[in-house]
Structure 1
Amino acid sequence: MTAAQADLHTSRPEIPDGLRIDRPLVSDGAELWRIAKDSGKLDLNSSYSYLLWCRDFAGTSVVARAADGRPVGFVTGYLRPESPRTLLVWQVAVDSAYRGHGLAARLLDALTRRVAAEHGLTAVETTITPGNTASERLFQSFADRHGARVEREVLFETDHFPDGPHDPEVLYRIGPLSPVHSA
């Protein structure tokens, strides 16, 4: 870790007491759906998709749990089939009561650390709509902490979406990451 990375690491607000980071369970699906819905920023998927996500992609996803075990934040992702050392981060959301503590960054770091240990992760990808400043900052700070480049290109144009007006989705590709990186 460089001095700049150490500064970033130590300057984060403290994580609230009693929170722990864990793999999602199927029983967490309803809470993940609620957190995504309440975010006001994410494209909301069906509640069924969050249940499936917690079942089929628990190994590439992570939740933050309050002391009572209830999910209060999450990162969902999957390994790209044609690039199995690339983690595509699908959604990141934190319950409004837990925002402002650096929890999204801690979740992203914990997930990528685990996936790197299990699969030799070399890159992270995500898509962000223009103007989503919080997501842009989250992923740029992730790249900065890990000494990685960020490449951006439009992945899906507005006219790719069949269900009405949708902002373009910009692909952020972060890498290369060392095969095992630390936060």
Structure 2
Amino acid sequence: MTAAPADLLIDRPAVTDGASLWRIAKDSKTLDLNSSYSYLLWCRDFAGTSVVARGADGEAVGFVTGYVRPEDPRTLLVWQVAVDSAYRGHGIAAALLDGLVARLAAERGVTGVETTITPGNTASERLFTSFADRHGAGLTREVLFPTEVFPDGPHDPEVLYRIGPLTDPTAH
């Protein structure tokens, strides 16, 4: 498992984190930005399947949002991963992802992870490829949503990354 820098607290998000998550996503310039309302709802309704990193002042500086798939309750779908630009390059995203998956493996029996990544998002490609390697898990890729299914203009395809089965996530 990857360790976060010692001055960060890994925590479940609270509704009060919604604004920070929205700002971090907006400032990332790579994520599809959802409405601020959706981040508030996410922090309320999916706090149990999401995680934040807090700086010394208690503000969220990074996050992973996800949910357990209703049709496949042993699979975590990771919706978004982002770290504030001032905190990038310190392994925070990997530590958040490892910690979240370890918690959900223990609490809910999660044995697989899915996410979608647009082609060319090398940071996310590296994050999830290295996650699979650390956990001794297989990784497959296939286009989940091709460009033409997006109703709101040009959008890159979303490639589904399936990772699993995971070895014991607490052992790494």
TM-score (norm 2): 0.96
Rounded to whole Å, the distance in 2 between the matches of 1:15 and 1:56 is 25
Q: Quick one: which amino acid aligns to residue 100 of structure 2? A: L
Identify the match of residue 26 of structure 2 among 37, 49, 57: 37
Q: Distance in 2 between matches of 1:89 and 1:17?
A: 25
Distance 1:181 1:15 in 2: 15
CA contact (8 A) 2:66 2:80 kept: yes
Match for residue 181 of structure 1? 169
**1:134 is aligned to 2:123:** yes
**8 Å Cα contact 2:137-2:163 kept in structure 1:** yes
**Partner Cα distance (2:105, 2:80) in 1:** 19
Q: Residues 57-85 of structure 1: CA distance to partner in whole angstroms, max 9, x if unpaired?
A: 00000000001100000000000000001
Q: Aligned letter for 1:93?
A: A
Q: Residue 18 of structure 2 contacts residue 39 of structure 2 at CA under 8 Å; is this kept in 1? A: yes
8 Å CA contact retained: 2:66, 2:78: yes
In structure 1, distance between residues paired with 2:10 and 2:136: 24
Q: Which residue of 1 aligns with 2:112?
A: 123
Task: Write the letter of the residue equivalent to 2:67.
Answer: Y
Match of 1:172 in 2: 161
Q: Contact 2:4–2:96 at 8 Å: present in 1 too?
A: no
Structure 2 counterpart of 1:137, which letter? R
Shift of residue 147 of structure 1?
Answer: 0.2
Deviations 1:93-149 (CA, angstroms, capped at 9, x unpaired): 000000000100000000000010001111000000000000000000000000001
Q: State the distance in 1 between where 2:26 and 2:144 align.
A: 24
Alignment of 1:11-160 (within 5 A): 15-160=4-149
Structure 2, unaligned runs of 5 or more: none
User: CA contact under 8 A between 2:78 and 2:114: conserved in structure 1?
Assistant: yes
Task: Note the C-alpha offset of 1:15.
Answer: 4.1
Percent identity of equivalent pairs:
78
State how far apart, in whole Å, the 1-side matches of 2:111 and 2:44 are: 25
Deviation, 1:181, is 2.1
Residue of structure 2 equivalent to 1:6: none
Provide structure 1 residue ranges, at least 5 long, that are not aligned to the other structure: 1-8
Runs of 4+ in 1 over 6 A off after TM superposition: none
The residue identity in structure 2 corresponding to 1:19 is L
The answer to whether the 8 A contact 2:10-2:52 is kept is: yes
Q: Is the 8 A contact 2:28 2:84 kept in 1?
A: yes
Secondary structure class of the residue paired with 1:36: helix
